[in-house]
């Protein structure tokens, strides 16, 4: 049965407009972007299949582009819509970070940095540069490496901090392996950066993994 034949209250688009996006399942939200199904399957069926094949919404949205292209039912138009929606979400989080108020909630920084870094298949080391009121000045991905590690140079972090006239930093890097526990190497580079930045009166507020 086509979605157009469903009761109006059960159709994903109508349900969203009447009751809000939060009541929709992941498959129904995907159906909003997919718009139509394929080969006798509704858009909701297709959404369920995509989620099942990727292990859930996060697995689907974290897929490399090359693998997303191979997913059944995801042609160029649908893929462009999906990737565009994902980027809108990232930019929304980024916009929240650069408002005039001070950054007072660590969770805000955590959500933003997770959205920026978690999809990379290799390690990325990044910095969130803050002024003396903890307002965001800039975000930069400074170093990239293999899945096993990224070479981090304190001198470069100090240089970029001074160029941004930062008073404080939040450091972050991803673990593509999925292990969130900081390694001894992570603790070592954090200590080196705290010492190097301390020489120019710049504080390290946190190092998020």
Q: How confident is the model at residue 156 (pLDDT cuts 50, 70, 90)?
A: very high
CATH topology assigned to domain 100-208? Cytidine Deaminase; domain 2 (3.40.140)
- 175 with 209: CB under 8 angstroms? yes
What confidence tens digit (pLDDT) does each residue in 164-180 have? 999 999 999 888 776 77
- Give me the pLDDT at residue 120, please: 79
CA angle at residue 46 from 41 to 51, to 5 degrees?
Answer: 150
The C-alpha atoms of residue 194 and residue 107 are separated, in whole angstroms, by 22
Nearest to 178 by CA among 90, 109, 136, 119: 119
- 28 with 12: CB under 8 angstroms? yes
- Which token pair is 172? 């972050």
Residue boundaries of the structural domains of the chain: 3-92, 100-208
Q: How confident is the model at residue 183 (pLDDT cuts 50, 70, 90)?
A: confident
- Give me the pLDDT at residue 69, please: 83
- Which token pair is 67? 């693998």
What confidence tens digit (pLDDT) does each residue in 72-108 have? 777 888 888 888 888 887 777 666 655 555 565 667 7
63: left (phi over 0), alpha (psi -120 to 50) or beta: beta
Question: pTM, whole model, 2 decimals?
Answer: 0.56
What is the average per-residue pLDDT within 13-38?
A: 84
Which is it for the CA torsion 62, 64, 70, 74, positive or negative?
A: positive
Mean pLDDT, the chain, whole residue set? 82
């Amino acid at each position: 049965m086509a979605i157009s034949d469903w009761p109006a209250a059960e159709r994903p688009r109508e349900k969203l407009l009447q009751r809000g996006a939060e009541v929709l399942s992941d498959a129904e939200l995907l159906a909003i972007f997919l718009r139509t199904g394929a080969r006798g399957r509704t858009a909701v069926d297709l959404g369920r299949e995509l989620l099942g094949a990727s292990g859930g919404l996060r697995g689907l949205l974290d897929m490399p582009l090359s693998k997303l292209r191979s997913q059944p039912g995801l042609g160029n138009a649908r893929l462009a819509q999906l990737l565009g929606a994902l980027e809108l979400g990232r930019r929304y989080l980024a916009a929240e970070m650069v408002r005039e108020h001070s950054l007072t909630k660590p969770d805000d920084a955590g959500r933003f940095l997770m959205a920026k870094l978690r999809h990379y298949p290799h390690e990325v080391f990044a910095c969130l540069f803050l002024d003396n009121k903890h307002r965001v000045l800039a975000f930069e991905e400074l170093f990239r490496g293999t899945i096993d590690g990224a070479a981090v140079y304190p001198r470069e972090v100090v240089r970029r901090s001074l160029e941004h006239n930062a008073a404080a930093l939040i450091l972050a890097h991803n673990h593509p392996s999925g292990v969130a526990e900081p390694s001894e190497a992570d603790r070592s580079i954090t200590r080196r950066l705290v010492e190097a930045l301390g020489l120019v009166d710049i504080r390290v507020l946190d190092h998020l993994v």
